[in-house]
Amino acid sequence: MTIAQTSIRAVLFDFDGTLADSYPAITASVNYVRASHGLPALTEAQVRPLVGRGPERLMETAVGPNSVAADVAAYRAHHPSVMREGTRLMPGAVEALRALHRIGIKAGICSNKPVAFTRELIVFLRVAEFFSVVLGPEDVARPKPAPDMLLEGLSRLSLSAAQTLYIGDMVVDIQTARAAGVPVWVVPTGSDPEVKLAAARPDRVIRGLGDLPNAIENGLQ
C-alpha cells in the first residue's frame, strides 16, 4: 500500500520515540520508583525497550509486578518534575508538522503515554497548534495494540482508515495500525530497533521524521 494510492488526509503519530525523545525523563521517573523499593538505577538504554505499552506495563517490567497501581501513582506524581527538561522533539519533527500543515493534512497523536503529560508537553515544545486530536489510554477502553485509540482518532477527524497514516517506533504501533486497518510507517528512533521493525512488515521504514517532508511532497499531496 503506497501513500499515493490511499489519498491520505491525516497523519497520526505515536509520541515517545516517534515525535519526541522523552527517554531521559522516563528513565528519571522509573528510577525514582525503583529507588523507593531499594532497587538500583537503570540506564536509559535499559529503560528504552520497556517504553510504549502504557504506564502499568512500564512499572511491571521496570520495577516489578507486586505493587503496580501504587508504582504507577508514584511515577505519575514524580514525572511532572522531570518531563519538561527531559523531553525534546525528535530531529525533523517540526519540519514534518509544518509540511503537513502547509498542504492541509491534519495531524494527531495516539500514544500510550498518559494523555495529560502528552498535552502539556506539546504546549511546552510549542507544537500544540499542529494537532487536531491528541489521545491517550484514558480516552479509550483499551490501549495499544488494541485499535481503539486509532479508531477514536478516525472518528474525531471524520476520516476513514484508508485516509489516515499512522507513524510509530515500535512493533506495537504496527500491530495497532494493522488492527485498525490503517497504513503504517515506522521510524527506528525509539524503543524497537530497525531490524525488529522491518521484521514486523510495516508499509515503510523511514530513517526519521526528517524523511517525511520529502515523502509528503512526492506522494501525500
Listing DSSP states for 63-100 in one string gives T-SSSHHHHHHHHHHHGGGTTTTT-EEPTTHHHHHHHH
Catalytic hit among 14, 16, 169, 173 = 14
Tell me how many degrees the CA angle 54-60-63 measures, rounded to the nearest 5.
120
DSSP-based three-state secondary structure for 17: coil
211 labelled catalytic = no
> Residues 3, 219: contact at Cβ < 8 Å?
yes
Please name which of 28, 30, 104 lies closest in space to residue 61, comparing C-alpha atoms: 30
Return the active site residues. Answer: 14
